[in-house]
Amino acid sequence: MFKNYKWKFCVFSPEHSTPLHIRRLLEKIIKKPFDSGITERMTKEEMNQGIKILNDNFFFMENKDTIPSIEWILNKAKQTILKFGIKGIIIDPYNEINSTREGNKREDEHIRDIISKCKKFCRTHEVVMWMVAHPSKLPRENGKINPPTLYDVSGSAHWNNMCDVGLVVHRDFDSNTTRVILRKVREQGLYGNIGECFFKYDLEKRVYEEIIPPEQANENNHQSNHWYND
């Protein structure tokens, strides 16, 4: 979205430090590693160019004193919307939000209310939010873990029931393949359609590049030949 549509982003991602996020984003922009290694690293000039791009387009929220509530996060996001015109908000992950619940509210009710507040905020301010939530522990089948469904997300079925768009990212480290599965689209055709795509991580460029699995390539060729024969 940043590259193709020039969107600006507000990011709350406390599992890693802001300097680490900046380093990883620089690698995605420059398409070279930040550190020395077996491949050519980015130059100082390229790094400064990338930092200028990051300063103009990515804004990080930090709260080093307390675990922030969803109200604190949304208030900070609102400030960046009004001041910088951001279009996307990233919360990664959900379990870094303050989990204190009012009264006798159950966990699923707490999650329901957070999702509801976020959806209302996005519609009011015309922004898009990506909220990362981890699945519960998944069983292995024949030594492998199958991609989770949205109902496997820890805490509540509301992750499936209330989301407008539900994406699952499943990485197979053995084959260096990342599978992105679109499990749910509330308004198909407007926001997308159910489907999936595959990526490999390019260690030299430090970016994910889309790949077409052999079975999908064969299907596409069959469809093309069928159209030609007709």
Question: In which residue are the tokens 């970016």 written?
Answer: 207
> Across residues 83-111, what is the average pLDDT?
93
> What phi, psi does 10 have (nearest 5°)?
-110, 130
Q: Pick from 129, 201, 218: which is nearest to 165 by CA?
A: 129
pLDDT at 28 over 70: yes
pLDDT tens for each residue of 197-228: 999 999 899 999 999 876 665 565 544 444 44
Residue range 114-169, pLDDT digits in tens: 999 999 999 999 999 999 999 888 888 887 888 999 999 988 799 999 999 999 99
At residue 3, the pLDDT reads 83
Percentage above 90 pLDDT, the chain = 69
Residue 190's SS3 state is coil
Say what the pLDDT of residue 223 is. Answer: 46
Residue 189 has a pLDDT of 82
At position 36, the amino acid (one-letter code) is: S
- Measured CA to CA, the distance from residue 1 to residue 25 in angstroms comes to 14
DSSP string, 33-85: -SS-SSSPPPPHHHHHHHHHHHHHHEEE---SSSPPPHHHHHHHHHHHHHHH-
Using CB atoms within 10 Å of the CB of residue 30, give its burial: 0 to 12 exposed, 13 to 18 middle, 19+ buried.
Answer: buried
User: What was the pLDDT predicted at 224?
Assistant: 43
* Confidence band for 59, pLDDT divided at 50, 70 and 90: very high
Q: Collect all residues with Cβ–Cβ distance below 8 Å to 192 and sequence separation of at least 6.
A: 165, 182, 185
The residue among 153, 169, 168 whose CA lies nearest residue 108 is 153
Contacts 24+ apart (CB under 8 A), 13-18: 13/60, 13/90, 13/91, 13/92, 13/96, 14/62, 14/63, 14/96, 15/92, 15/93, 15/96, 18/60, 18/62
Residues above pLDDT 70, as percent of the chain: 93
Alpha carbon of 92 to those of 34, 113, 134, 158, 160: distances in Å? 23, 18, 10, 18, 17
Residue 216 is predicted with a pLDDT of 65
Please report, as a single letter, which amino acid is at residue 165.
Answer: V
Q: Which of 47-51, 117-121, 185-189, 225-229 has the lowest mean pLDDT?
A: 225-229
Helix (H, G, I), strand (E, B) or coil at 187: coil
131 close to 167: Cβ distance less than 8 angstroms: no
